[in-house]
């Protein structure tokens, strides 16, 4: 007996990167030596203090449901961290703890989007921002982030996409997949547009602590007129290497919190009790651990940018955030999917075709440098040879 899935499921495709991933895993299982550059998760262990804190929490019997909003201690610690690091002005009541930014995205969109509402979304982007509004019956309308514009926003294009159905804008800064960081001037102009058109802004700042070359982060909610309309999404997965702990948060005005908590309470109830305790430790005691990881990413990025730019036929700009490099392969005459397949088959390198992140990603490959320097060195040597062979028509 086959049951008919809900019609809206038809709008939810499997990820476009699945074909390459599955092939890479099958090749690895068959004994091939694959270098993985596709994974968007840190290669470091979670800092010891955080693990210890979770153990202590369990031993102390913190094994029950918490408030839907999150524990008072974690909400207060998040508000304090935001105020200190971003110059925000939050109280604990402005915070809701979630099962990662993924769940925060769903709650925020489900609480505000009606059928037919339009949401401005970057192109390219982490694909949840296309598929979540689509699943909710809303319409993602993309705005371009182009390399020739240093992956900043083209405001003329952005404003031309605003209609009387536009309710929300998504901003991901630093960006997955480009590794770009919006300048202060970009953020200020963006804030003016949000205010002028009365938009709700979803500001995904999950990579905000992973900045390089002295780059500075501007938190959208802190700009004039933005605190009242911004849902800031923050996380622990990337900076603290806690992807498997499933913890994140959103910060917003209290009326927005009371709307999103209704979605949250009927989906997940609350985040795990002991993970919330450990997250307080992350915020209060682990700045040094984050800095050690950040410095390692900085070294890897410097190495990769130099090495990749020395390979004839490909190039990259100078990304200053997250742990991704968006490599321009336009001169090679293959689509990004063809190129990803070519590198997998010929160089045993797994990476993500840029087209998986939206149409503006065509012509690029996303490399994650959340992997060891040795692996990156091996990868560069293999990519250099494979591209030289391709250009030589071998
Ligand atoms: C931009 C962005 N937001 C959110 C997430 C998911 O975060 P979490 O693990 O907190 O759900 C990712 C993961 O790759 C991401 O790249």
The string of pLDDT tens digits covering residues 236-280 is: 999 999 999 999 999 999 999 999 999 999 999 999 999 999 999
Examine the domain organization and report whether 294 and 278 are in the same domain.
no
CA of 392 to the centre of ligand 1 (A): 39
Answer for the pair 177, 366: CB distance below 8 angstroms, yes or no: yes
Examine the domain organization and report whether 350 and 232 are in the same domain.
no
To test ligand 1's pocket by mutation, which of 109, 208, 235 has the most ligand atoms within 8 angstroms of CB?
Answer: 235
Examine the domain organization and report whether 34 and 68 are in the same domain.
no
Report the CATH number at residue 292: 3.90.1150.10
Atom of ligand 1 at shortest range from CA of 172: 1
Examine the domain organization and report whether 269 and 209 are in the same domain.
yes
Which pLDDT does position 17 carry in this prediction?
A: 67
Examine the domain organization and report whether 147 and 193 are in the same domain.
yes
- Give a yes or no: residue 82 inside a domain: yes
Extract the residue ranges of the chain whose pLDDT is less than 70: 16-17
- Give a yes or no: residue 367 inside a domain: yes
- Give a yes or no: residue 241 inside a domain: yes
CA of 302 to the centre of ligand 1 (A): 24
Answer for the pair 321, 175: CB distance below 8 angstroms, yes or no: yes
Which pLDDT does position 13 carry in this prediction?
A: 80
User: What's CA 292's distance to the chain center, in Å?
Assistant: 21
- State the Cα torsion 290-295-297-301 to the nearest 10°: 150
Examine the domain organization and report whether 211 and 70 are in the same domain.
yes
Smallest CA-to-CA distance from 174 within 323, 303, 37, 371 is with: 323
What pTM, to 2 d.p., does this model score? 0.97
Q: Which residues line ligand 1 (CB under 6 A)?
A: 40, 100-102, 126, 172, 176, 204, 206, 235, 237, 243, 248
Examine the domain organization and report whether 162 and 258 are in the same domain.
yes
To test ligand 1's pocket by mutation, which of 38, 41, 124, 126 has the most ligand atoms within 8 angstroms of CB?
Answer: 126
Which pLDDT does position 279 carry in this prediction?
A: 98
How many whole angstroms separate alpha carbon 198 and alpha carbon 189?
Answer: 14
At 89, list the tokens.
């002005």
Examine the domain organization and report whether 223 and 331 are in the same domain.
no
- For residue 97, give the 3-state DSSP assignment: strand
Total of domains in the chain: 2
Examine the domain organization and report whether 69 and 134 are in the same domain.
yes
Report the CATH number at residue 73: 3.40.640.10
Which pLDDT does position 1 carry in this prediction?
A: 78
Which pLDDT does position 22 carry in this prediction?
A: 85
Examine the domain organization and report whether 103 and 126 are in the same domain.
yes
Last residue of a domain, one of 258, 286, 314: 286
Examine the domain organization and report whether 222 and 177 are in the same domain.
yes
To test ligand 1's pocket by mutation, which of 231, 237, 240, 247 has the most ligand atoms within 8 angstroms of CB?
Answer: 237
How many residues appear in the chain?
394
Name the residue range of residue 14's domain: 7-45+288-386
Looking at 87-230, list the stretches that DSSP marks H as alpha helix, in order from N- to C-terminal side.
100-112, 128-135, 155-160, 184-196
Looking at 182-267, list the stretches that DSSP marks H as alpha helix, in order from N- to C-terminal side.
184-196, 254-267
- Give a yes or no: residue 1 inside a domain: no
- Give a yes or no: residue 72 inside a domain: yes
- Give a yes or no: residue 2 inside a domain: no
- Give a yes or no: residue 391 inside a domain: no
Answer for the pair 177, 354: CB distance below 8 angstroms, yes or no: yes
Which pLDDT does position 16 carry in this prediction?
A: 66
Atom of ligand 1 at shortest range from CA of 243: 9
Atom of ligand 1 at shortest range from CA of 246: 9
Nearest CA to ligand 1 atom 13: 40
């Amino acid at each position: 007996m086959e049951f008919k899935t809900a019609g809206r499921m038809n709008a939810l495709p499997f990820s476009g990167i699945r074909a390459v991933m599955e092939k890479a895993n099958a090749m690895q299982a068959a004994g091939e030596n694959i270098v993985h550059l596709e994974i968007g998760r840190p290669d470091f262990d979670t800092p010891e203090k955080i693990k210890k804190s979770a153990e202590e929490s369990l031993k102390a019997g913190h094994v029950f449901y918490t408030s839907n909003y999150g524990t008072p201690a974690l909400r207060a610690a998040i508000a304090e961290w935001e105020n200190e690091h971003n110059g925000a002005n939050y109280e604990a009541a402005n915070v809701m703890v979630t099962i990662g930014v993924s769940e925060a995205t769903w709650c925020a969109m489900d609480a505000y989007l009606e059928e037919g509402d339009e949401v401005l979304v970057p192109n390219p982007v982490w694909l949840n921002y296309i598929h979540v509004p689509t699943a909710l019956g809303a319409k993602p309308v993309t705005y371009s982030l182009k390399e020739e514009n240093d992956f900043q926003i083209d405001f003329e294009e952005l404003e031309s996409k605003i209609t009387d159905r536009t309710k929300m804008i998504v901003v991901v800064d630093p960006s997955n997949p480009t590794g770009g960081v919006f300048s202060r001037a970009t953020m200020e102009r963006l804030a003016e547009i949000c205010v002028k058109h009365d938009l709700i802004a979803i500001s995904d700042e999950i990579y905000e602590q992973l900045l390089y070359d002295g780059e500075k982060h501007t938190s959208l909610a802190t700009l004039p007129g933005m605190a009242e309309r911004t849902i800031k999404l923050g996380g622990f997965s990337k900076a603290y290497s806690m992807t498997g702990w499933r913890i994140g948060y959103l910060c917003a005005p209290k009326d927005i919190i009371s709307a999103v908590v209704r979605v949250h309470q009927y989906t997940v109830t609350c985040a795990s009790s002991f993970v919330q305790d450990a997250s307080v430790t992350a915020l209060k005691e682990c700045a040094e651990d984050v800095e050690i990881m950040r410095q390692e990413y900085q070294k890897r990025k410097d190495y990769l940018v130099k090495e990749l730019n020395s390979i004839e036929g490909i190039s990259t700009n100078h990304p200053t955030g997250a742990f991704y490099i968006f490599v321009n392969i336009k001169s090679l005459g293959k689509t990004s999917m063809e190129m990803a397949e070519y590198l997998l088959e010929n160089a045993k390198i797994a990476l993500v075709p840029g087209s998986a992140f939206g149409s503006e990603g065509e012509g690029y490959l996303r490399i994650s440098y959340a992997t060891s320097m040795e692996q990156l060195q091996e990868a560069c040597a293999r990519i250099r040879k494979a591209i030289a062979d391709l250009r030589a028509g071998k």
